[in-house]
Structures are given as C-alpha cells and as structure tokens.
Amino acid sequence: MAAKAKARTKAKSKARSKARSGAKTVRVTTSSQRKATPSARGNGEGRDLLARLARGAVVCAEGYVFELERRGYLQAGSFVPEVLFEHPEVVEQLHMDFVHAGSDVTEALTYYVHREKLRVIGREKDLVPMNRQALKIAKSVARRTGTLFAGDLCNTNIYDPADKSAIKEVERIFDEQAGWAADAGVDYFVAETLGWVGEALLALQAIKRHSKVPTVVTFAMHREEATRDGFTPAEACQRLEAAGADVVGLNCHRGPATMMPLIKQIRAAVKCHVAALPVPYRTIPQQPSFMALTDACCGNQRAFPVGLDPFMCTRGEIADFGREAFANGIRYLGVCCGAGPHHIRALAESLGRHPPASRYSVDMSRHAFFGTDKMIRKIQTDYRDKA
C-alpha cells in the first residue's frame, strides 16, 4: 500500500510537472556556482547523516524564514517563503552563506510551504512548484558544497487530536511533502517545530512511507515544559525514538538558557542521537520561549517577532551553548529562528571547526584603539579608556 501510494504521488507530481513546464520556469541562478571553491566544500564527508554523527558533531543552520525576513524578502506574520519564486537567488545565497559559515547541512526551505499555510495566503495552487523549487535550490547548493541535503516537514497549525478530518488533512500535508522531498533525493529528513507528539508521529510515519533515509524529529517547546498533548520533552522524544526516529530533540522557540535543561533530560532518556537547535535569544525561566519575551523598554510589549533584537545572543553565548551541549553528548547542533551566519560560525568554531568564514573571525590585535600590533600608534592606545 505504501508503495502504491508512492507510485501514485510520483505519477501525480510528474503529471503536474509536465503541465507546468514552460508555464512557470523559475531559474535558479548559477552565479554562485562560479563562487564555489574547494575551501567552501565539505564541512564533512559522505552523505550519511548517521555516519557523520558517529564521527562527531553535525552543524545544521535553520531559521531561514527569520533571516529572509530581516533581509527584506519575506513577510513576518504568515512567514511563508514566497521568496522562492520572487527571488530564488536570495534563497540560494542564504544557503551558501550558512555553508560558508559552517553548516554541514543545506535544508530545503519547505518550512511553511505546505497546503495549510499556502491556503492562508491564497496561493494553494503554487504548492507543488514552490516545494519543487525549494528542493531544487537546496539540492543544488548541497551537491556543490558537499553538505547534506535535508528535506523538511514542519508543524501544520491545524492538528487537533479530537478532529478526525483535521488529522486526515495533516496526513495529506505530510504525505505530499514527504513524497516530493523523497523524489528530490534528500539525504535525510527533518520534521521540526512540532508541538504535539501525535502530529510528530504522523510526520514520521509519512516520511517512512516514502523513504528509508534517516529522520530527525524536533519538538518546539512553548512556555510549558510539555507538548500540547501533555508529554514531557523527554517522554515525547522517547515515543519518537520508539517509532523509529533516528535523531530526536528540540528546535526553535527556546533560547540556549531555557533549552539546555530540557535537552539534558532528553539526552538521559533516549539512546539515539539528540538534536538541539535553540533560537539565539536570551530567554529566561519566567519567559522561556521567544514568543513569551516582553521588552521593558517598549511598554512590556510582546517582542516577537520583529522586536526581538535587544534579546539577541552574542556569538560567545552561542559558542558556550555548543560547547556545553557537545560535552553533554548532544551531537546534532544548530541555531533556529534569528540565526545569522555569524551564529553558525560561532557554533562551528566552538566545536573545533574552521569553516571558510573563519578567515574573517575577529582579531583585535590590529584594531585602531585596542590593538597590540606594533604598528598601532601609542596616541591611539593611550586613548583606549576614553574610546
């Protein structure tokens, strides 16, 4: 039955591709093909996620929609990456920037490119080409750079355990997205930002119907230290491990400080590899998720999503998180919404890496006021306490 379903999905999507051909050709720029250099290739070797994790850490940049919003190519609110059609070259460059900064993974930007979200913005008809476009761009970057090519499924926002028709629709959403990613030949799958164990299981089952590659499943924890269906993060991850997930853990919503305690509980509760991809914001016990943060400088308004800048973690804080997580046996590491390439570089360097972007990592020895180089004039260094 699974094989039949796959054949059906393939046949359907082929027919759709044929119908589309010529009508809407979105060209993926080849400009960065020229930019790809040996130094930009291969933060690791091989396309087997589990083999890489057996050898050491895997760094995965996430949070593309937040970074694209900051760059002015995506609207905060719906957070649907229409940029895939409007500026595919920007998406490609973003992938390249993260690889340059140390990401071992190029994840297809299919986050929120599912039926429910496209319906909300009135673009459901673009579902198939938008998914194909995201997969095509990511695959192209992954293959050029020697990074892992990951497919991506995410929260649907309609899952309701008491609503049979909603569950059916969620199954359809996961089934079609998993099918398209499998067609594209992803090296592994990510199912992320999930709030319900029930929904996570549906995502994992859909992936397994279409593919045999490894799957990473990550939950996003809101203020409560429980999933929407009442499981602790450790219990939730145990359930996903038992259902066949290869890597389990948390992504998004929580910053390093409020994710770390939960990640340690998960590490102690499961046997498989654990993933931790916090948002780069200074969340605190009273406001443990980035949606909960309020800004005292702005009338204690909710800072999410476009007022979060004052809460941004420094590179040092992200590096500290990476070191502590790895020392505690967490090997699949990344940064989610809010992450810029500088965070990914800091994370990679905290794990002993030297990605191409490390060529430009800070060196204050030649700074005009704080430098120690003999070329720096005394008239400046004498002034440093007034600078």
Interface with Zn ion (CB under 5 A): 63, 252, 336-337
User: 40 or 291: whose CB is closer to Zn ion?
Assistant: 291
Compute the distance between CA of residue 328 and CA of residue 80 in angstroms, rounded to an integer.
Answer: 35
Within 10 Å of residue 237's Cβ, how many Cβ atoms?
A: 32
Least distance to Zn ion from the beta carbon of 337, Å?
A: 3
Burial class (CB in 10 A: 0-12, 13-18, 19+), 268: exposed
User: 210 or 321: whose CB is closer to Zn ion?
Assistant: 321
Residues 6+ apart with CB under 8 A from 261: none
Residues 6+ apart with CB under 8 A from 323: 350, 351
Least distance to Zn ion from the beta carbon of 40, Å?
A: 25
Exposure class string for 160-196: b at 16+ Cβ within 10 A, else e: eeeeeeebebbbebbbbbbbbbbbbebbbbbbbbbbb
Compute the distance between CA of residue 51 and CA of residue 45 in angstroms, rounded to an integer.
Answer: 9
User: 179 or 334: whose CB is closer to Zn ion?
Assistant: 334
Least distance to Zn ion from the beta carbon of 67, Å?
A: 10
Kind of pairing between the strands at 301-302 and 294-295: antiparallel
Kind of pairing between the strands at 148-154 and 215-219: unpaired
Least distance to Zn ion from the beta carbon of 220, Å?
A: 7
User: 63 or 288: whose CB is closer to Zn ion?
Assistant: 63
Least distance to Zn ion from the beta carbon of 190, Å?
A: 12
**Shortest CA distance to 45 belongs to which of 35, 37, 54?**
54
Burial class (CB in 10 A: 0-12, 13-18, 19+), 24: exposed
Phi, psi of 219 (to 5 degrees): -95, 150
User: 116 or 152: whose CB is closer to Zn ion?
Assistant: 152
User: 66 or 188: whose CB is closer to Zn ion?
Assistant: 66
Least distance to Zn ion from the beta carbon of 183, Å?
A: 26
Residues 6+ apart with CB under 8 A from 384: 369, 370
**DSSP 3-state of 262:** helix
User: 40 or 279: whose CB is closer to Zn ion?
Assistant: 279
User: 130 or 337: whose CB is closer to Zn ion?
Assistant: 337
Least distance to Zn ion from the beta carbon of 68, Å?
A: 12
Least distance to Zn ion from the beta carbon of 336, Å?
A: 3
User: 182 or 332: whose CB is closer to Zn ion?
Assistant: 332
Least distance to Zn ion from the beta carbon of 205, Å?
A: 23
Compute the distance between CA of residue 149 and CA of residue 47 in angstroms, rounded to an integer.
Answer: 8
**DSSP 3-state of 83:** helix
